[in-house]
């Protein structure tokens, strides 16, 4: 198509280089897609060529339009002998390749790649990830007035005060960093606590309780408004599994508590009234 256009464009250019005034294109030239040029004189007073208006030539023609269809049509199998893919549909007679799809990773009976490669590493599916927070950071927030030390400090309190981020997967671990800044009694409820942090809090006259929350319970503790928005009730506190009974002190309460619960040991049972 471009070869057909070039002679016409060259004829137009040679025609405009003439000094004679041109009012309309000559009928001898084949201007297929060019607009008729209307001008009085191609040479102005300064002697330079000028054109009143030329529309750019489009390389798109009606005979070049194609429908948006794939070049290679889908092979239709089982449509007669004349199609070349009839009867057995190109699979031949019997055999392993003629009987449906094989198993993924099957290598003809030899040991597959997934069994030839050795195993490396181990990922514990029961592992828990806790976000750490130090006592020094809690002391700074208490001095800044963002946390009330007279109330129970829960994981929701730490989250609202900015002591921990939003990436709380399985709970919060209380660390002993900055333990020397704790000089007044505070009461906390976290998922885990280190030995140093627990000793520092108890020395100052406070207490630390390890509470258990599952995924749904932790979400209800940190985002109770989500359940109100969805019109749902808060879930019941989940009991810890048998493997975690030695690592927690009690079940987490819902909604977030504000007052601490006193610890009762088995050596001091509750006294019954005298009859």
Helix axes 195-203, 135-143, angle to 10 degrees: 40
195 membership: H or E segment, kind and range: helix 195-203
* Tokens encoding 259: 């007052």
* pLDDT level of residue 57 (50, 70, 90 thresholds): low
The stretch 45-57 carries a mean pLDDT of 53
* pLDDT level of residue 65 (50, 70, 90 thresholds): confident
Q: Is 107 helix (H, G, I), strand (E, B) or coil?
A: coil
Q: β-strand 172-175 against 131-134: which pairing, if any?
A: parallel
**Whether pLDDT at 47 is above 70:** no
The stretch 68-85 carries a mean pLDDT of 87
187 membership: H or E segment, kind and range: strand 187-190
pLDDT tens-digit profile of 223-253?
Answer: 999 999 999 999 999 999 999 999 999 999 9
Give the least confident one: 28-32, 125-129, 211-215.
28-32
Domain 131-251: give its CATH code: 3.100.10.10
Residue 76 backbone dihedrals phi, psi, to 5 degrees: -95, 115
Name the strands in the sheet holding 172-175, side by side, starting at the edge strand that comes first in the sequence: 131-134, 172-175, 192-193
Determine the Cα–Cα distance for residues 188 and 206; give it in Å rounded to an integer.
8
163 membership: H or E segment, kind and range: none
* pLDDT level of residue 28 (50, 70, 90 thresholds): very low
Determine the Cα–Cα distance for residues 262 and 193; give it in Å rounded to an integer.
18
CB 149 within 8 A of CB 205: no
* Tokens encoding 167: 């990436």
Higher pLDDT pick, 238 / 34: 238
* pLDDT level of residue 208 (50, 70, 90 thresholds): very high
**Whether pLDDT at 39 is above 70:** no
In the chain, what are the domain boundaries? 131-251
Closest of 266, 124, 152 to residue 209, by C-alpha: 152
CB 214 within 8 A of CB 251: no
């Amino acid at each position: 198509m471009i070869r057909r256009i070039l002679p016409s464009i060259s004829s137009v250019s040679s025609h405009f280089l003439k000094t004679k005034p041109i009012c309309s294109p000559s009928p001898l030239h084949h201007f297929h897609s060019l607009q008729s040029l209307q001008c009085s004189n191609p040479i102005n007073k300064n002697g330079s060529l000028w054109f009143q208006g030329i529309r750019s030539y489009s390389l798109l023609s009606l005979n070049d339009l194609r429908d948006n269809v794939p070049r290679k049509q889908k092979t239709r199998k089982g449509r007669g002998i004349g199609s070349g893919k009839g009867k057995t549909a190109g699979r031949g007679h019997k055999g392993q390749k003629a009987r449906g799809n094989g198993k993924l990773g099957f290598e003809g009976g030899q040991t597959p790649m997934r069994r030839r490669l050795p195993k490396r590493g181990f990922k514990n599916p029961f592992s828990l990830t806790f976000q750490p927070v130090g006592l020094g950071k809690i002391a700074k927030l208490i001095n800044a007035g963002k946390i009330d030390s007279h109330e129970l400090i829960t994981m929701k309190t730490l989250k609202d005060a900015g002591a921990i981020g939003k990436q709380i997967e399985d709970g919060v671990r209380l660390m002993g960093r900055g333990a020397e800044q704790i000089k007044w009694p505070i009461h906390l409820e976290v998922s885990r606590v280190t030995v140093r942090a627990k000793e520092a809090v108890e020395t100052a006259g406070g207490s630390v309780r390890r509470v258990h929350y599952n995924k749904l319970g932790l979400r209800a503790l940190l985002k109770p408004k989500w359940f109100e928005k969805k019109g749902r009730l808060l879930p019941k506190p989940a009991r810890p599994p048998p493997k975690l009974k030695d690592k927690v002190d009690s079940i987490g309460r819902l909604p977030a508590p504000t007052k601490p619960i006193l610890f009762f040991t088995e050596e001091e049972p509750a006294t019954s009234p005298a009859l």
